[in-house]
Amino acid sequence: MAAIEEYISQIQDEELRRKISAEVRKLKNHKKFGLVFEEHLPECSPLYDVPVRRGSKVALRAGKVNEFYRVLRINGDIAFCIKKGDNEPIEIPVADLVSIAEFGEAIYPCLKPIDTVCNAPDSDLWHTLIEADNYHALQLLRYLYAGKVDCIYIDPPYNTGAKDWKYNNDYVDGADEFRHSKWLSMMKKRLEIARDLLNPKDSVLIVTIDEKEYLHLGCLLEELFPDARMQMISSIINPAGVSREGEFARTNEYIYFVYNGDCHPAPMELGEDWIGIIKNIKRKYGLRWNTLLRSGTNARRLDRPNLFYPLFVDVNLNKVVKIGASLPIDTDRSTISADPGTRVIWPIRTNGEEGNWQIDQTRLKNLLDKGYVKLGRMNDRGTMAIDYLKKGEITKIEDGTFSVVGYQDNGTIIVDDSNYSPIFVPGCQWNIPSHDATQQGTKLLNAIIDKRFNFPKSLYAVHDTIRFFVANKPNALIVDFFAGSGTTLHAVNLLNAEDGGNRRCILVTNNEVSVDEAKTLTQQGYHPGDEEWEKLGIARYVTWPRTVCSIEGHDVNGNPLKGNYIGSDLPMAEGFKANAAYFKLGFLDKNDVALGTQFKEMLPTLWMKSGAHGSCPTVDEETPDMLVLPQNRFAVLVDERKYMEFVSAVDEYPEIETVFIVTDSEVGYRDMINAFEEKDTYQLYRDYLDNFRINVARR
């Protein structure tokens, strides 16, 4: 429909344009069921570092990126271009043009090193930040890690109507008729690729959102992940509330969890803040006793007649001294009399109806002998509260979680639970003080990089959210392709510092400047792609400085960070034993790749595909015959004539896990990999080129 609107605007006959527009409006008002939205005009990305050449698809640097031209020829500094839909070529200075790519076109990405931070030289763990439009970065990540990602956490633009995100390089505001369909189109394109990254056997997709798009997002996730389980929780992020004229103040946001395969939130040792209003959760803060009287379904005598039996309690010792036989359903309980000095206790429900016990006589006798039954006081119904321990609580005693310190006079066990912290999965309403985005997001970030970014997430909100899924995965791979200020990487480093994990994080963010900065820079004569413009972009001005400062433990002015991280004794000034590499996404010519002249440019991609172990290697301009890198756990054979020498070299280093072989022969490749049966092998450059060509063809 959006494409039709575009074509209508090109109709010269005003009356015809009016009539067709009227008919289109009627079609748009026709109600449909399910998630229906405009499959909007294809997105385009400006490629500022790709040279403008003959045949290039280009746009004006100062114009709209989706209004593009095709370069017919270049004469000196002038490009002769033809606009889409026109027949007459026009002359445009090359300096005023930028190469573009429409989403869905085959691209051949590479990683251009920008910077590194190394605070753990003895560790081979390296995180990565990729500066790029996340759609193209996701295409690269699909080649690198399809089916290998454990957790994706994203905080996409909320489409509030403010100028908080762009479509086709234009800000989308509340007056845009297509803003919802543009947002959904944008999200769908990226989530389709993200789905391919996740491990189908055990992984989670986490998406935060507010009320503007949460309904649409939920439908989209159900459509894209039909075999997954999905849950949404509500999280308080601003207890003070954000006032909205004519509306309730906003205090919360929503978090979608998409569980793939066997994925589920793991029980955690959580503080009292997490208890909320879950029924009986406080009982988990000590040894948990369960009532012997059955409640809920099948709780009447006639439901379980074999579990309707008397207990004889010594009134002086408050102790069960005898367990009677089950009473037949047609026998009145008044026929059973108490022994001298005892009282008969029956399973009588609060409404006076005859009920039944939870367990049979044999099991109850065994629990009594071990002290795993506790008696309360006699009540008005002539019965008493009787509790017993279930298997899970008994295990806590037997494995030493609760130490036995004695027994009561009636034989009931006494344990020391003073140092016990409960392990549980919380409810779906989160009201955690440390998740306050103002205190632990904005103020925390301002203390690191000054006031450079609005509305960051609370560090601890992200930390806690992903911890439910990676606490038991010390080597998890975590991806955030709406990285913003870089909170996710900060949170992963905190998790690793707390439990000694080796989790790796990949961040992706564009390098957009703020609306106000864009206006100022434009007035000064700068354009996107210029150095003065790029250095104020989010990746270079916010995400990377935060990454460096949090790892090294200082602010952007070099002053040590103050205070400790909440929930631990870790001083912020100590930083983290971690390393990170910063890349910008570039694009290669497929013919140059096929000819093998882009080895230097391809090397960071090979490093990431091999697991990003150790610092990213570099080579001189001259391509080597082979490259054996045990510190990076991969090796590359470039010259097939060196095959036997290469095999011998690789055999010396069992730590090498990945082998790349450059050859045009499929048969030859199959023969050569026989020497590396225990390793991951790839054929260059066919594996790389085919991946991007085939994945585009499938769309």
pLDDT single digits (tens) 559-586: 999 999 998 889 999 999 999 999 999 9
Residues 142, 608: Cα–Cα separation, whole Å: 12
Residues 479, 463: Cα–Cα separation, whole Å: 14
State mean pLDDT over 12-38.
72
pLDDT of residue 173: 67
Contact 223, 258 (CB under 8 A): no
State mean pLDDT over 229-242.
94
pLDDT at 287 over 90: no
Rounded (10°) CA dihedral 142, 143, 146, 150: -70
The pair of three-digit structure tokens given for residue 480, joined into one six-digit string:
């955030």
State mean pLDDT over 624-645.
96
CA atoms within 13 A on the CB side of 34: 5
Contact 387, 376 (CB under 8 A): yes
Spatial CB neighbours of 45, under 8 Å, sequence gap ≥ 6 = 65, 100, 101, 103, 133, 135, 136
* Selected residue with higher pLDDT from 138 and 288: 138
Contact 664, 686 (CB under 8 A): yes
Against a cut of 0.75, is the pTM above it?
Answer: yes
* Selected residue with higher pLDDT from 328 and 48: 328
Q: Which CATH architecture has domain 2-102?
A: Roll (2.30)
Strands (E), 22-120: 44-47, 57-60, 68-75, 78-83, 90-93, 97-102, 109-118
pLDDT at 38 over 60: no
CA angle 496, 499, 501 (to 5 degrees): 45
Residues 315, 319: Cα–Cα separation, whole Å: 7
**Alpha helix ranges (H) inside 472-609:** 487-499, 515-523, 531-534, 538, 544-552, 590-594, 599-609
Share of the chain above pLDDT 90, in %: 67
pLDDT of residue 699: 45
What residue ranges of the chain are covered by domains with CATH 3.40.50.150? Answer: 109-274+427-583
What residue ranges of the chain are covered by domains with CATH 2.30.30.30? Answer: 2-102
In the numeric block, the tokens 């207990």 are attached to 311
pLDDT at 171 over 90: no
Based on its alpha-carbon atoms, the radius of gyration of the chain, rounded to whole angstroms, reads 33
Least confident among 275-289, 345-359, 453-467: 275-289
Contact 230, 218 (CB under 8 A): yes
State mean pLDDT over 15-22.
86
Residues 128, 505: Cα–Cα separation, whole Å: 7
pLDDT at 697 over 50: no
pLDDT confidence of 85, banded at 50, 70, 90?
Answer: confident
CATH number assigned to the domain with residue range 109-274+427-583, chosen from the 4 options 3.40.50.720, 3.30.390.50, 3.40.50.150, 3.40.190.10: 3.40.50.150
Contact 528, 48 (CB under 8 A): yes
The helix (run of H) or strand (run of E) holding residue 690 is helix 686-697
CA atoms within 13 A on the CB side of 320: 28
